[in-house]
Chain A
Amino acid sequence: MEPLIRIRGLSKRFGQGCSRCLDATGPEQDTNLCPHCGSVMACNDVSFDLFRNEALGVVGESGSGKSTLVRLLHFEWEASGGGMEMHRSAGLSNLPEMFTDGSNYSCNLLGLSHFQKRQLRNALMGIVYQNPHLGLRMQVSSGGNIAERLLGAGWRNIAKMRERSAELLERTEIPIERMDEPPCNFSGGMQQRVQIAKALSNNPLILFLDEVTTGLDLSVQARVLDMIRNLRSEFNLSMLVVSHDLGVINLLCQRTMVMKSGHVVESGLTDQILQDPQHRYTQLLVASQL
Protein backbone atom coordinates (compact mmCIF):
# COMPACT_ATOMS: atom_id res chain seq x y z
CA MET A 1 0.00 0.00 0.00
CA GLU A 2 1.29 3.42 -0.92
CA PRO A 3 1.31 6.16 1.70
CA LEU A 4 -1.16 9.06 1.44
CA ILE A 5 1.50 11.68 2.05
CA ARG A 6 5.26 11.44 1.94
CA ILE A 7 7.35 13.87 3.93
CA ARG A 8 11.02 14.06 3.07
CA GLY A 9 13.77 16.09 4.73
CA LEU A 10 11.46 18.66 6.24
CA SER A 11 13.35 21.50 7.95
CA LYS A 12 12.50 24.76 9.59
CA ARG A 13 15.08 27.26 10.73
CA PHE A 14 14.34 30.47 12.60
CA GLY A 15 17.15 32.95 12.15
CA GLN A 16 19.90 33.60 9.67
CA GLY A 17 21.59 30.23 9.80
CA CYS A 18 25.24 29.44 9.22
CA SER A 19 27.30 26.57 7.83
CA ARG A 20 27.71 25.01 11.26
CA CYS A 21 24.02 25.00 12.29
CA LEU A 22 23.41 21.40 11.22
CA ASP A 23 26.40 19.99 13.10
CA ALA A 24 25.92 22.07 16.20
CA THR A 25 22.29 21.15 16.85
CA GLY A 26 20.40 17.91 17.34
CA PRO A 27 19.75 15.27 19.97
CA GLU A 28 23.44 14.52 20.55
CA GLN A 29 24.12 18.15 21.34
CA ASP A 30 20.84 18.24 23.29
CA THR A 31 19.87 21.59 21.77
CA ASN A 32 18.26 23.05 18.68
CA LEU A 33 19.89 26.44 19.19
CA CYS A 34 22.99 26.99 17.09
CA PRO A 35 25.70 28.43 19.40
CA HIS A 36 27.50 30.06 16.47
CA CYS A 37 24.75 32.14 14.88
CA GLY A 38 21.89 31.92 17.37
CA SER A 39 19.47 30.35 14.88
CA VAL A 40 16.91 27.83 16.06
CA MET A 41 16.65 24.61 14.05
CA ALA A 42 13.04 23.85 15.04
CA CYS A 43 12.76 20.93 12.63
CA ASN A 44 15.67 19.23 10.96
CA ASP A 45 15.49 16.61 8.21
CA VAL A 46 12.21 15.07 9.31
CA SER A 47 11.00 12.30 6.99
CA PHE A 48 8.01 10.00 7.35
CA ASP A 49 4.99 8.52 5.58
CA LEU A 50 1.39 8.84 6.60
CA PHE A 51 -1.02 6.17 5.37
CA ARG A 52 -4.75 6.24 4.89
CA ASN A 53 -6.87 5.72 8.01
CA GLU A 54 -3.77 5.76 10.10
CA ALA A 55 -3.07 7.67 13.29
CA LEU A 56 0.58 8.56 13.57
CA GLY A 57 1.82 9.79 16.92
CA VAL A 58 4.51 12.38 17.50
CA VAL A 59 5.95 12.52 21.00
CA GLY A 60 8.74 14.54 22.46
CA GLU A 61 9.53 17.11 25.11
CA SER A 62 8.46 20.70 24.71
CA GLY A 63 10.67 22.47 22.20
CA SER A 64 11.40 19.30 20.28
CA GLY A 65 9.69 20.55 17.13
CA LYS A 66 6.37 18.70 17.29
CA SER A 67 4.13 21.71 16.86
CA THR A 68 6.47 23.21 14.27
CA LEU A 69 6.03 20.04 12.26
CA VAL A 70 2.25 20.44 12.33
CA ARG A 71 2.42 24.11 11.38
CA LEU A 72 4.61 23.28 8.41
CA LEU A 73 2.33 20.52 7.17
CA HIS A 74 -0.74 22.71 7.66
CA PHE A 75 0.98 25.41 5.56
CA GLU A 76 0.90 27.97 8.36
CA TRP A 77 4.64 28.44 8.28
CA GLU A 78 6.99 28.27 5.32
CA ALA A 79 9.41 25.37 5.52
CA SER A 80 13.11 26.14 5.09
CA GLY A 81 13.57 22.93 3.14
CA GLY A 82 12.14 19.55 2.36
CA GLY A 83 9.18 18.15 0.52
CA MET A 84 5.61 17.03 0.99
CA GLU A 85 3.95 14.92 -1.67
CA MET A 86 0.40 13.68 -1.77
CA HIS A 87 -0.90 10.52 -3.36
CA ARG A 88 -3.10 10.81 -6.44
CA SER A 89 -5.92 9.03 -4.61
CA ALA A 90 -6.33 12.02 -2.29
CA GLY A 91 -8.67 13.36 -4.96
CA LEU A 92 -7.06 16.65 -5.89
CA SER A 93 -9.13 16.82 -9.03
CA ASN A 94 -9.42 20.60 -8.84
CA LEU A 95 -5.65 20.95 -8.91
CA PRO A 96 -4.65 18.72 -11.84
CA GLU A 97 -1.51 20.74 -12.55
CA MET A 98 0.04 19.16 -9.48
CA PHE A 99 0.33 15.80 -11.22
CA THR A 100 2.33 16.44 -14.35
CA ASP A 101 4.75 13.58 -14.81
CA GLY A 102 2.32 10.65 -14.57
CA SER A 103 3.68 9.62 -11.19
CA ASN A 104 1.30 8.64 -8.42
CA TYR A 105 2.58 11.49 -6.29
CA SER A 106 2.06 15.21 -6.61
CA CYS A 107 4.76 17.82 -6.96
CA ASN A 108 6.21 19.25 -3.75
CA LEU A 109 3.20 20.83 -2.09
CA LEU A 110 5.37 23.10 0.03
CA GLY A 111 6.33 24.93 -3.16
CA LEU A 112 2.76 25.82 -4.14
CA SER A 113 1.42 29.37 -4.09
CA HIS A 114 -0.42 30.63 -1.01
CA PHE A 115 -3.66 30.46 -2.94
CA GLN A 116 -3.17 26.82 -3.92
CA LYS A 117 -2.11 25.92 -0.40
CA ARG A 118 -5.28 27.50 0.95
CA GLN A 119 -7.41 25.53 -1.52
CA LEU A 120 -5.63 22.35 -0.56
CA ARG A 121 -6.02 23.05 3.14
CA ASN A 122 -9.72 23.87 2.77
CA ALA A 123 -10.31 20.71 0.79
CA LEU A 124 -8.21 18.15 2.65
CA MET A 125 -7.06 19.22 6.07
CA GLY A 126 -8.42 19.89 9.51
CA ILE A 127 -6.57 21.00 12.59
CA VAL A 128 -7.23 21.07 16.31
CA TYR A 129 -4.93 23.20 18.44
CA GLN A 130 -4.05 22.85 22.07
CA ASN A 131 -5.33 26.35 22.67
CA PRO A 132 -8.91 26.78 21.39
CA HIS A 133 -8.22 30.51 20.94
CA LEU A 134 -6.01 29.61 17.97
CA GLY A 135 -8.60 27.50 16.21
CA LEU A 136 -11.82 29.35 17.04
CA ARG A 137 -13.17 32.86 16.80
CA MET A 138 -14.29 33.32 20.36
CA GLN A 139 -16.76 36.13 19.66
CA VAL A 140 -18.46 34.39 16.73
CA SER A 141 -21.18 31.78 17.35
CA SER A 142 -20.11 28.13 17.45
CA GLY A 143 -22.27 27.42 14.41
CA GLY A 144 -20.57 30.37 12.70
CA ASN A 145 -17.14 28.96 13.49
CA ILE A 146 -18.07 25.76 11.72
CA ALA A 147 -19.77 27.68 8.92
CA GLU A 148 -16.60 29.66 8.28
CA ARG A 149 -14.89 26.57 6.91
CA LEU A 150 -17.92 25.65 4.86
CA LEU A 151 -18.11 29.19 3.48
CA GLY A 152 -14.44 28.92 2.57
CA ALA A 153 -15.27 25.76 0.65
CA GLY A 154 -18.00 27.59 -1.29
CA TRP A 155 -21.17 26.75 0.65
CA ARG A 156 -23.79 29.49 0.18
CA ASN A 157 -26.92 28.16 1.80
CA ILE A 158 -27.59 29.17 5.40
CA ALA A 159 -30.08 26.39 6.12
CA LYS A 160 -27.76 23.67 4.80
CA MET A 161 -24.80 25.08 6.71
CA ARG A 162 -26.79 25.17 9.92
CA GLU A 163 -27.91 21.61 9.33
CA ARG A 164 -24.30 20.51 8.86
CA SER A 165 -23.13 22.46 11.93
CA ALA A 166 -25.88 20.95 14.05
CA GLU A 167 -24.95 17.47 12.84
CA LEU A 168 -21.28 17.98 13.73
CA LEU A 169 -22.02 19.56 17.10
CA GLU A 170 -24.24 16.61 17.89
CA ARG A 171 -21.45 14.22 16.96
CA THR A 172 -19.10 16.12 19.29
CA GLU A 173 -21.65 16.18 22.10
CA ILE A 174 -22.41 19.90 22.17
CA PRO A 175 -26.10 20.64 22.89
CA ILE A 176 -27.57 21.98 19.65
CA GLU A 177 -29.53 24.68 21.43
CA ARG A 178 -26.18 26.29 22.25
CA MET A 179 -25.15 26.42 18.61
CA ASP A 180 -25.60 30.18 18.36
CA GLU A 181 -23.60 30.91 21.49
CA PRO A 182 -19.98 32.01 21.10
CA PRO A 183 -17.32 29.54 22.33
CA CYS A 184 -16.14 32.05 24.94
CA ASN A 185 -19.25 31.03 26.93
CA PHE A 186 -18.13 27.39 26.94
CA SER A 187 -15.91 25.33 29.19
CA GLY A 188 -12.46 24.27 27.96
CA GLY A 189 -13.61 20.77 27.08
CA MET A 190 -16.57 22.09 25.14
CA GLN A 191 -14.38 24.57 23.28
CA GLN A 192 -12.11 21.72 22.32
CA ARG A 193 -15.07 19.76 21.01
CA VAL A 194 -16.28 22.75 18.99
CA GLN A 195 -12.79 22.93 17.53
CA ILE A 196 -12.98 19.29 16.56
CA ALA A 197 -16.39 19.85 14.96
CA LYS A 198 -14.95 22.76 13.00
CA ALA A 199 -11.98 20.70 11.87
CA LEU A 200 -14.27 17.94 10.63
CA SER A 201 -16.73 20.23 8.85
CA ASN A 202 -15.19 19.93 5.38
CA ASN A 203 -14.78 16.12 5.58
CA PRO A 204 -10.99 16.31 5.70
CA LEU A 205 -8.70 13.50 4.67
CA ILE A 206 -6.03 14.48 7.16
CA LEU A 207 -6.57 15.72 10.68
CA PHE A 208 -3.80 17.35 12.72
CA LEU A 209 -4.22 17.13 16.48
CA ASP A 210 -1.82 19.33 18.38
CA GLU A 211 -1.91 18.47 22.10
CA VAL A 212 -5.70 18.29 22.02
CA THR A 213 -6.24 17.03 25.53
CA THR A 214 -3.50 18.90 27.32
CA GLY A 215 -5.05 21.15 29.90
CA LEU A 216 -8.33 19.26 30.17
CA ASP A 217 -9.24 17.40 33.31
CA LEU A 218 -8.95 13.62 33.22
CA SER A 219 -12.59 12.66 32.75
CA VAL A 220 -13.02 15.19 29.95
CA GLN A 221 -9.74 13.98 28.41
CA ALA A 222 -11.04 10.45 28.29
CA ARG A 223 -14.27 11.51 26.60
CA VAL A 224 -12.52 13.65 24.01
CA LEU A 225 -10.07 10.86 23.20
CA ASP A 226 -12.86 8.34 22.95
CA MET A 227 -14.68 10.64 20.59
CA ILE A 228 -11.61 11.18 18.41
CA ARG A 229 -11.16 7.42 18.14
CA ASN A 230 -14.75 6.95 17.02
CA LEU A 231 -14.56 9.81 14.58
CA ARG A 232 -11.41 8.43 13.02
CA SER A 233 -13.02 5.14 12.07
CA GLU A 234 -16.26 6.82 11.06
CA PHE A 235 -14.71 9.49 8.81
CA ASN A 236 -11.76 7.39 7.57
CA LEU A 237 -9.30 9.99 8.77
CA SER A 238 -5.56 9.97 8.62
CA MET A 239 -4.36 11.68 11.77
CA LEU A 240 -1.12 13.18 12.96
CA VAL A 241 -1.37 13.22 16.74
CA VAL A 242 1.09 15.43 18.57
CA SER A 243 1.36 14.97 22.29
CA HIS A 244 3.86 14.85 25.08
CA ASP A 245 1.57 12.39 26.84
CA LEU A 246 2.43 8.78 26.05
CA GLY A 247 -0.97 7.69 27.34
CA VAL A 248 -2.72 9.65 24.61
CA ILE A 249 -0.39 8.27 21.97
CA ASN A 250 -0.87 4.74 23.24
CA LEU A 251 -4.62 5.11 23.05
CA LEU A 252 -4.87 6.67 19.60
CA CYS A 253 -1.91 5.71 17.47
CA GLN A 254 -0.66 2.59 15.74
CA ARG A 255 2.68 4.12 14.84
CA THR A 256 4.76 6.69 16.65
CA MET A 257 7.73 8.95 16.06
CA VAL A 258 9.85 10.29 18.87
CA MET A 259 11.29 13.77 18.38
CA LYS A 260 14.11 15.47 20.18
CA SER A 261 15.79 18.78 19.39
CA GLY A 262 14.15 19.00 15.98
CA HIS A 263 15.11 15.45 14.88
CA VAL A 264 13.18 12.21 14.73
CA VAL A 265 15.23 9.93 16.97
CA GLU A 266 13.09 6.84 16.80
CA SER A 267 10.00 5.62 15.02
CA GLY A 268 8.01 2.42 14.82
CA LEU A 269 4.91 0.67 16.09
CA THR A 270 3.59 2.34 19.22
CA ASP A 271 3.62 -0.89 21.22
CA GLN A 272 7.18 -1.55 20.21
CA ILE A 273 8.34 1.91 21.19
CA LEU A 274 6.62 1.79 24.53
CA GLN A 275 7.70 -1.78 25.35
CA ASP A 276 11.17 -1.76 23.91
CA PRO A 277 12.52 1.77 23.46
CA GLN A 278 15.84 1.87 21.64
CA HIS A 279 17.01 5.46 21.80
CA ARG A 280 18.34 6.81 25.07
CA TYR A 281 15.85 9.67 25.10
CA THR A 282 12.88 7.38 24.39
CA GLN A 283 13.96 5.13 27.21
CA LEU A 284 14.02 8.12 29.53
CA LEU A 285 10.61 9.25 28.29
CA VAL A 286 9.03 5.82 28.75
CA ALA A 287 10.67 5.25 32.10
CA SER A 288 9.49 8.55 33.47
CA GLN A 289 5.92 8.35 32.22
CA LEU A 290 4.75 4.73 32.39
Chain B
Amino acid sequence: MLMHEWLQKDDEPRSDAAQSAGYPFGFMDEGAKKEIRRSILKAVAIPGYQVPYGSREMPIARGWGTGGLQITLSMVKPDDILKVIDQGCDDSVNAVNIKKFVATVASVAITTDTRAATLIQTRHRIPEERMNDQQILVLQVPYPEALREVEPSEMETRRMHAEADYSRMWLYLYEDIVKYGEITISYRYPVTVNGRYITDPSPIPRWDVPKLHMADTLFLFGAGREKRIYAIPPHTSVEPLEFEDHKFRTENFFGKACARCGATDTFLDEVIDNAGGGRSFFCSDSGYCDKRSQAWNH
Protein backbone atom coordinates (compact mmCIF):
# COMPACT_ATOMS: atom_id res chain seq x y z
CA MET B 1 0.00 0.00 0.00
CA LEU B 2 1.30 3.47 -0.83
CA MET B 3 1.83 6.21 1.73
CA HIS B 4 -0.88 8.50 0.41
CA GLU B 5 -3.35 5.67 0.46
CA TRP B 6 -2.88 5.10 4.21
CA LEU B 7 -3.12 8.78 4.86
CA GLN B 8 -6.48 8.85 3.12
CA LYS B 9 -7.70 5.75 4.86
CA ASP B 10 -9.58 6.77 7.95
CA ASP B 11 -10.58 3.38 9.26
CA GLU B 12 -8.52 1.95 12.10
CA PRO B 13 -5.92 0.68 12.63
CA ARG B 14 -3.70 2.44 10.17
CA SER B 15 -0.46 1.73 11.96
CA ASP B 16 -0.88 -1.96 11.33
CA ALA B 17 -1.08 -1.20 7.64
CA ALA B 18 2.08 0.90 7.83
CA GLN B 19 3.95 -1.77 9.69
CA SER B 20 2.73 -4.56 7.48
CA ALA B 21 4.04 -2.54 4.54
CA GLY B 22 7.50 -2.81 6.07
CA TYR B 23 7.86 0.55 7.78
CA PRO B 24 9.18 0.42 11.34
CA PHE B 25 7.31 1.97 14.24
CA GLY B 26 7.77 5.73 13.97
CA PHE B 27 8.72 5.55 10.27
CA MET B 28 12.47 5.99 10.84
CA ASP B 29 14.73 3.00 11.31
CA GLU B 30 16.11 2.28 14.76
CA GLY B 31 19.60 3.53 13.90
CA ALA B 32 18.27 6.91 12.84
CA LYS B 33 16.08 7.23 15.92
CA LYS B 34 19.00 6.29 18.13
CA GLU B 35 21.23 8.94 16.59
CA ILE B 36 18.58 11.61 17.00
CA ARG B 37 17.94 10.61 20.62
CA ARG B 38 21.64 10.84 21.35
CA SER B 39 21.76 14.30 19.78
CA ILE B 40 18.78 15.27 21.94
CA LEU B 41 20.58 14.04 25.06
CA LYS B 42 23.61 16.10 24.17
CA ALA B 43 21.40 19.12 23.49
CA VAL B 44 19.74 18.75 26.89
CA ALA B 45 23.13 18.44 28.56
CA ILE B 46 24.35 21.71 26.98
CA PRO B 47 21.30 24.01 27.08
CA GLY B 48 21.08 26.29 24.04
CA TYR B 49 23.96 24.63 22.16
CA GLN B 50 23.18 23.58 18.59
CA VAL B 51 24.00 19.91 18.12
CA PRO B 52 24.56 18.85 14.49
CA TYR B 53 22.78 15.67 13.45
CA GLY B 54 22.14 13.72 10.27
CA SER B 55 18.78 15.05 9.19
CA ARG B 56 16.85 12.31 7.32
CA GLU B 57 14.66 12.52 4.30
CA MET B 58 11.05 12.76 5.41
CA PRO B 59 7.89 12.37 3.34
CA ILE B 60 7.41 16.14 3.62
CA ALA B 61 9.73 18.72 2.16
CA ARG B 62 12.61 20.25 4.08
CA GLY B 63 11.46 23.53 5.54
CA TRP B 64 8.01 22.19 6.35
CA GLY B 65 8.76 20.94 9.82
CA THR B 66 11.06 18.00 9.15
CA GLY B 67 13.30 18.90 12.08
CA GLY B 68 10.41 18.86 14.52
CA LEU B 69 8.97 15.77 12.89
CA GLN B 70 12.18 13.80 13.28
CA ILE B 71 12.36 14.66 16.97
CA THR B 72 8.71 13.70 17.41
CA LEU B 73 9.15 10.39 15.57
CA SER B 74 12.31 9.48 17.45
CA MET B 75 10.62 9.99 20.81
CA VAL B 76 7.01 8.97 20.28
CA LYS B 77 5.69 5.94 22.20
CA PRO B 78 2.46 4.01 21.52
CA ASP B 79 0.80 5.43 24.65
CA ASP B 80 1.63 9.05 23.82
CA ILE B 81 -1.09 11.59 23.19
CA LEU B 82 -0.05 13.92 20.42
CA LYS B 83 -1.01 17.48 19.64
CA VAL B 84 0.32 19.31 16.59
CA ILE B 85 -0.15 23.03 16.08
CA ASP B 86 0.84 25.42 13.34
CA GLN B 87 1.05 29.07 14.40
CA GLY B 88 -1.24 28.21 17.33
CA CYS B 89 -3.82 26.47 15.18
CA ASP B 90 -4.69 22.77 15.43
CA ASP B 91 -6.51 22.64 12.11
CA SER B 92 -4.15 24.15 9.54
CA VAL B 93 -3.10 21.92 6.66
CA ASN B 94 0.45 21.46 7.83
CA ALA B 95 -0.57 20.54 11.38
CA VAL B 96 -3.21 18.11 10.15
CA ASN B 97 -0.79 16.43 7.75
CA ILE B 98 1.87 15.93 10.38
CA LYS B 99 -0.71 14.71 12.89
CA LYS B 100 -2.11 12.17 10.45
CA PHE B 101 1.31 11.00 9.45
CA VAL B 102 2.53 10.43 13.00
CA ALA B 103 -0.75 8.73 13.90
CA THR B 104 -0.30 6.46 10.91
CA VAL B 105 3.26 5.39 11.56
CA ALA B 106 3.17 5.36 15.36
CA SER B 107 -0.49 4.65 16.24
CA VAL B 108 -0.75 7.42 18.82
CA ALA B 109 -3.89 9.15 20.04
CA ILE B 110 -4.50 12.70 18.88
CA THR B 111 -5.80 15.63 20.89
CA THR B 112 -6.22 19.38 20.59
CA ASP B 113 -6.18 19.86 24.36
CA THR B 114 -2.81 21.15 25.58
CA ARG B 115 -3.37 19.73 29.07
CA ALA B 116 -4.21 16.24 27.75
CA ALA B 117 -1.25 15.95 25.38
CA THR B 118 2.01 14.29 26.37
CA LEU B 119 3.89 15.36 23.27
CA ILE B 120 3.23 18.58 21.35
CA GLN B 121 4.85 19.53 18.08
CA THR B 122 4.50 23.19 17.23
CA ARG B 123 5.38 25.74 14.64
CA HIS B 124 5.93 29.33 15.81
CA ARG B 125 3.82 29.30 18.99
CA ILE B 126 3.92 28.01 22.55
CA PRO B 127 0.47 27.04 23.88
CA GLU B 128 -1.21 29.54 26.21
CA GLU B 129 -1.84 26.99 28.93
CA ARG B 130 1.14 26.32 31.17
CA MET B 131 2.61 22.92 30.43
CA ASN B 132 3.81 20.54 33.14
CA ASP B 133 6.90 18.45 33.76
CA GLN B 134 5.40 15.35 32.12
CA GLN B 135 5.00 17.08 28.77
CA ILE B 136 7.46 17.80 25.98
CA LEU B 137 7.17 20.60 23.46
CA VAL B 138 8.90 20.11 20.09
CA LEU B 139 9.46 23.29 18.11
CA GLN B 140 10.08 23.46 14.37
CA VAL B 141 12.97 25.77 13.56
CA PRO B 142 13.71 27.36 10.18
CA TYR B 143 16.93 29.18 11.16
CA PRO B 144 18.64 27.76 14.24
CA GLU B 145 21.50 30.27 14.24
CA ALA B 146 20.58 33.36 16.27
CA LEU B 147 23.75 35.13 15.11
CA ARG B 148 23.04 34.64 11.40
CA GLU B 149 21.59 38.15 11.22
CA VAL B 150 24.97 39.64 12.08
CA GLU B 151 27.35 37.02 10.65
CA PRO B 152 26.81 35.04 7.46
CA SER B 153 29.68 32.58 7.97
CA GLU B 154 28.89 29.37 9.86
CA MET B 155 32.52 28.91 10.81
CA GLU B 156 32.61 32.37 12.33
CA THR B 157 29.33 31.98 14.25
CA ARG B 158 30.61 28.73 15.72
CA ARG B 159 33.74 30.51 16.87
CA MET B 160 31.62 33.31 18.33
CA HIS B 161 29.55 30.78 20.28
CA ALA B 162 32.63 28.92 21.47
CA GLU B 163 34.24 32.08 22.81
CA ALA B 164 30.95 33.65 23.96
CA ASP B 165 31.89 36.55 21.71
CA TYR B 166 28.46 38.14 21.43
CA SER B 167 29.28 41.84 21.22
CA ARG B 168 28.12 41.99 17.59
CA MET B 169 24.67 40.70 18.46
CA TRP B 170 24.43 43.29 21.20
CA LEU B 171 25.71 45.92 18.78
CA TYR B 172 22.87 45.02 16.42
CA LEU B 173 20.38 45.76 19.20
CA TYR B 174 22.22 48.96 20.11
CA GLU B 175 22.00 50.21 16.54
CA ASP B 176 18.32 49.34 16.45
CA ILE B 177 17.69 51.47 19.50
CA VAL B 178 19.79 54.34 18.16
CA LYS B 179 17.93 54.29 14.85
CA TYR B 180 14.37 53.53 15.91
CA GLY B 181 14.26 54.18 19.64
CA GLU B 182 13.52 50.56 20.43
CA ILE B 183 14.44 47.01 19.49
CA THR B 184 12.54 46.13 16.33
CA ILE B 185 12.85 42.33 16.41
CA SER B 186 9.26 41.07 16.53
CA TYR B 187 9.73 37.32 16.43
CA ARG B 188 12.82 35.05 16.68
CA TYR B 189 13.86 37.25 19.59
CA PRO B 190 17.36 36.15 20.69
CA VAL B 191 17.64 34.78 24.22
CA THR B 192 20.52 33.79 26.50
CA VAL B 193 20.03 30.24 27.72
CA ASN B 194 21.45 29.22 31.08
CA GLY B 195 23.64 32.33 31.09
CA ARG B 196 25.79 30.98 28.27
CA TYR B 197 24.60 30.51 24.70
CA ILE B 198 22.65 33.05 22.71
CA THR B 199 19.89 30.95 21.19
CA ASP B 200 17.17 31.33 18.61
CA PRO B 201 13.83 30.48 20.26
CA SER B 202 12.39 29.75 16.78
CA PRO B 203 9.97 32.28 15.25
CA ILE B 204 7.68 32.46 18.26
CA PRO B 205 6.28 35.93 19.02
CA ARG B 206 7.90 37.88 21.84
CA TRP B 207 4.71 37.07 23.76
CA ASP B 208 5.87 33.46 24.14
CA VAL B 209 9.49 34.13 25.10
CA PRO B 210 8.87 34.50 28.88
CA LYS B 211 7.19 31.06 28.87
CA LEU B 212 10.59 29.48 28.17
CA HIS B 213 12.11 30.85 31.36
CA MET B 214 12.27 28.41 34.29
CA ALA B 215 9.53 26.28 32.76
CA ASP B 216 8.52 22.85 34.02
CA THR B 217 8.57 21.49 30.49
CA LEU B 218 11.34 20.24 28.24
CA PHE B 219 11.60 22.25 25.01
CA LEU B 220 13.26 20.58 22.04
CA PHE B 221 14.13 22.46 18.87
CA GLY B 222 14.63 20.72 15.54
CA ALA B 223 15.90 22.30 12.34
CA GLY B 224 15.67 19.70 9.56
CA ARG B 225 17.04 21.72 6.69
CA GLU B 226 19.87 23.19 8.76
CA LYS B 227 20.50 19.84 10.52
CA ARG B 228 20.60 21.12 14.10
CA ILE B 229 18.94 20.07 17.34
CA TYR B 230 19.01 22.12 20.51
CA ALA B 231 17.12 22.16 23.77
CA ILE B 232 15.98 24.21 26.72
CA PRO B 233 15.66 21.80 29.63
CA PRO B 234 13.14 22.36 32.45
CA HIS B 235 14.02 24.93 35.12
CA THR B 236 16.61 26.64 32.94
CA SER B 237 17.00 30.40 32.84
CA VAL B 238 16.07 31.96 29.50
CA GLU B 239 16.72 35.67 29.32
CA PRO B 240 15.79 37.77 26.30
CA LEU B 241 18.61 40.17 25.36
CA GLU B 242 17.82 43.55 26.87
CA PHE B 243 19.51 46.67 28.16
CA GLU B 244 19.19 48.16 31.61
CA ASP B 245 17.44 51.17 30.14
CA HIS B 246 15.67 49.40 27.24
CA LYS B 247 13.89 46.38 28.62
CA PHE B 248 12.46 43.53 26.61
CA ARG B 249 8.74 43.99 25.96
CA THR B 250 6.09 41.57 24.77
CA GLU B 251 3.38 42.50 22.30
CA ASN B 252 0.55 44.65 23.62
CA PHE B 253 -3.03 44.27 22.43
CA PHE B 254 -4.28 47.35 24.29
CA GLY B 255 -7.24 45.62 25.93
CA LYS B 256 -8.51 43.93 22.77
CA ALA B 257 -10.41 40.72 23.42
CA CYS B 258 -10.91 37.54 21.41
CA ALA B 259 -14.15 37.89 19.41
CA ARG B 260 -14.91 34.24 19.99
CA CYS B 261 -14.05 33.45 23.61
CA GLY B 262 -13.57 36.92 25.05
CA ALA B 263 -10.04 36.29 26.31
CA THR B 264 -7.95 39.38 26.99
CA ASP B 265 -4.83 37.59 28.19
CA THR B 266 -3.89 35.62 25.08
CA PHE B 267 -1.87 36.28 21.94
CA LEU B 268 -4.39 37.55 19.37
CA ASP B 269 -4.49 37.28 15.59
CA GLU B 270 -5.99 40.19 13.72
CA VAL B 271 -8.49 39.11 11.10
CA ILE B 272 -9.79 41.53 8.50
CA ASP B 273 -13.24 40.93 7.08
CA ASN B 274 -12.81 41.00 3.31
CA ALA B 275 -16.40 42.03 2.64
CA GLY B 276 -17.00 44.67 5.27
CA GLY B 277 -13.39 45.69 5.98
CA GLY B 278 -13.96 45.35 9.72
CA ARG B 279 -11.22 44.11 12.01
CA SER B 280 -11.64 41.51 14.67
CA PHE B 281 -9.27 39.63 16.92
CA PHE B 282 -9.14 35.94 17.70
CA CYS B 283 -6.97 33.80 19.95
CA SER B 284 -4.02 32.44 18.02
CA ASP B 285 -4.12 29.31 20.19
CA SER B 286 -7.20 27.59 18.75
CA GLY B 287 -7.22 24.70 21.24
CA TYR B 288 -7.34 27.09 24.19
CA CYS B 289 -9.97 29.22 22.48
CA ASP B 290 -12.17 26.16 21.85
CA LYS B 291 -11.89 25.15 25.47
CA ARG B 292 -12.86 28.62 26.67
CA SER B 293 -15.75 28.96 24.20
CA GLN B 294 -17.20 25.62 25.30
CA ALA B 295 -17.01 26.61 28.95
CA TRP B 296 -18.69 29.89 28.00
CA ASN B 297 -21.58 28.16 26.25
CA HIS B 298 -22.35 25.72 29.07
When distances are taken between beta carbons in the complex, the residues of chain A under 8 Å from B162 are: 114-115
With A148-B167, A148-B170 already in contact, 18 other A-B pairs whose C-beta atoms are closer than 8 Å: A114-B162, A114-B163, A115-B162, A118-B163, A137-B171, A140-B175, A141-B178, A143-B178, A144-B171, A144-B174, A144-B175, A149-B167, A151-B167, A156-B170, A156-B242, A156-B243, A158-B174, A180-B178
Q: Mark B78-111, 1 if CB is under 8 A from A, else 0.
A: 0000000000000000000000000000000000
Can you list the 3 inter-chain pairs with the closest CB atoms, starting with the nearest?
A152-B167, A151-B170, A157-B244
When distances are taken between beta carbons in the complex, the residues of chain B under 8 Å from A152 are: 165, 167
When distances are taken between beta carbons in the complex, the residues of chain A under 8 Å from B159 are: 114
Taking the closest CB of chain B, its distance from the CB of A21, in whole angstroms, is: 30
Which of A114, A149, A158 is close to B177, meaning CB atoms less than 8 Å apart? Answer: A158
When distances are taken between beta carbons in the complex, the residues of chain A under 8 Å from B179 are: 180
B245 at interface, CB cutoff 8 A: yes
**Which B residues have a C-beta under 8 Å from some C-beta of A?**
159, 162-165, 167-168, 170-171, 174-175, 177-179, 242-246
**Which A residues have a C-beta under 8 Å from some C-beta of B?**
114-115, 118, 137, 140-141, 143-144, 147-149, 151-152, 156-159, 161, 180
Taking the closest CB of chain B, its distance from the CB of A143, in whole angstroms, is: 7
When distances are taken between beta carbons in the complex, the residues of chain B under 8 Å from A137 are: 171
- Chain A: CB-nearest residue to B163: A115
Could you tell me if A158 and B171 are in contact, using CB atoms closer than 8 angstroms? no
When distances are taken between beta carbons in the complex, the residues of chain A under 8 Å from B164 are: 115
- Chain B: CB-nearest residue to A150: B167
When distances are taken between beta carbons in the complex, the residues of chain B under 8 Å from A141 are: 175, 178
Report the bound CA distance from A9 to B177 in whole Å: 47
Could you tell me if B171 and A148 are in contact, using CB atoms closer than 8 angstroms? yes
When distances are taken between beta carbons in the complex, the residues of chain B under 8 Å from A147 are: 171, 174
When distances are taken between beta carbons in the complex, the residues of chain B under 8 Å from A157 are: 243-245
Report the bound CA distance from A159 to B175 in whole Å: 13
Which of B163, B171, B243 is close to A140, meaning CB atoms less than 8 Å apart? Answer: B171
When distances are taken between beta carbons in the complex, the residues of chain B under 8 Å from A115 are: 162-164
When distances are taken between beta carbons in the complex, the residues of chain B under 8 Å from A158 are: 174, 177-178, 243-246
Report the bound CA distance from A141 to B178 in whole Å: 9
Sampled A-B contacts (24; CB under 8 Å): A115-B163, A115-B164, A137-B171, A140-B171, A140-B175, A141-B175, A141-B178, A144-B171, A144-B175, A147-B171, A148-B167, A148-B170, A148-B171, A151-B171, A152-B165, A152-B167, A156-B170, A156-B243, A156-B244, A158-B174, A158-B177, A158-B178, A158-B244, A158-B245
Report the bound CA distance from A152 to B165 in whole Å: 7
Taking the closest CB of chain B, its distance from the CB of A192, in whole angstroms, is: 21
